[in-house]
Amino acid sequence: MKKNDLILMYLYLFFVNLSLVDAIQNLFLNYIGFSLSNIGILLTILIVGKIIFEIPTGYIADRFGNKVSLLVALFMKIIAIFILYNFKNIVVIALYFIITAISYTLTTGCYDTILVNVSNKQDKYDLKLVNAISRTIYYISLGLTSIIAGYISDTNFYTVFVLNIIFLVLSILVLMLVDDDIKDEKQNIPTSFNAIDIVNHIKSNRILSYFILIECAINFSMIPIDEFYSLYLLKVFDLDYTIVIYIKGFQYIFISIMAIFLTKYLKGDNNRIIIVGMPIMMFLAFTCFCISKIYYLAIFFYISGIIIFYIYAPYKYSMLHNTIENKYRTTIISYKAAITMILSCITQPLIGVLSDIISMRCASIILIGISLMMLLLINILYNDIFVSEANNKLSV
């Protein structure tokens, strides 16, 4: 890959995450006449679809190339958006969610794999810095998406759909300019490998299995809290919906600015403090978010938790990808994503049920407590990966 490929992938990341339709999806479904229960069923179809297609599409990316997988996903997303805008039958809308699920799973791990290939071929690129810049661009896109979609959707859904398709077309054009990584990697990929090969690779690598378990512990409470964040501000603090949209938008912009600032401080050798300590600090910040009774304090602690995660993520990203065999990379990331989707099927209904029984505030605290206990147990069981020769292997 050439140096320009990295810049092109940053542009791709920016355009593809200007996903305006995703930001107003549930609002639009409600607007065209779907009840909340119908929307719940459709979202369940989306989650189940992601679980079913996650691993097969990861294998497709490993076999035929990450660029091809991303391009197919973009074309499918355009088709899905067309269906959502033009049809109101629940069966056809269910097809929209199935296509969206396939499109999503086709992208899992592909962007990361291309970035890792860039870093491996260009020594000047530090993997932590690459991830930090990617995360900054990601948050900028999310912030702009929330602000633009929130503003336009009040008057014109059609403009939201057209703009989203334009951004997807721009993503396709940018991606077409990127060198296809499969040219270099295909000869190193075995003619066949199956789930047993992947599982054995994970079991034989304690560093890899450690990070997969840690990610499960983090996602157990982080996913539902993040998904219910807007609803939390609406229900707990009785804020207006439009205000919540703008809060989220400017919040993402602020996080991206902080990310740029913090990128300069992402150098250091004490990986254990970062990897073990930062997730705990993040959940302590989220706990403060849950117990805060003033909305601006709650927002402050929530943003603090996300920023702490931002500091942690590039270290995890670098260490994780340095220990994965390249031939299995995208498939293993798909396995991780499938586990995340399964957790979502458990934790999102759980926080909803607990919120009805007790309160959304208490439900969030319970999930955070479980995550903290899981983190503690995992770090005790995997304490050996941070000592002697294992510690040298982790250093980047």
Distance CA 247, CA 150 (A): 11
Q: Is 89 left (phi over 0), alpha (psi -120 to 50) or beta?
A: beta
Q: Is 3.30.950.10 the CATH classification of the domain at 194-396?
A: no
Distance CA 187, CA 390 (A): 30
CATH architecture of 1-177: Up-down Bundle (1.20)
Q: Which two tokens stand for residue 59?
A: 């294998």
pTM, to two decimals: 0.71
pLDDT at 396: 40
* Domain locations in the chain as residue ranges: 1-177, 194-396
Q: Which two tokens stand for residue 90?
A: 């629940």
- Residue by residue, pLDDT tens for the chain (396 residues) are 444 788 888 899 999 999 988 887 877 887 888 876 677 778 778 888 888 887 677 667 767 788 888 999 999 999 999 999 999 888 999 999 999 999 988 887 788 778 777 666 665 556 777 777 887 888 888 888 888 877 776 667 888 899 999 999 999 999 988 876 554 444 444 444 566 766 777 777 888 888 888 888 888 888 777 777 877 887 788 887 677 777 887 888 887 777 667 656 655 555 677 888 889 999 999 999 999 989 889 999 998 998 888 778 877 877 777 777 766 776 777 777 777 778 777 777 777 778 778 888 888 899 999 999 999 999 988 887 765 444 444 444
pLDDT at 16: 93
pLDDT at 157: 84
> Shortest CA distance to 16 belongs to which of 247, 178, 227?
178
pLDDT at 94: 92
By the 8 A CB rule, do 142 and 101 touch? no
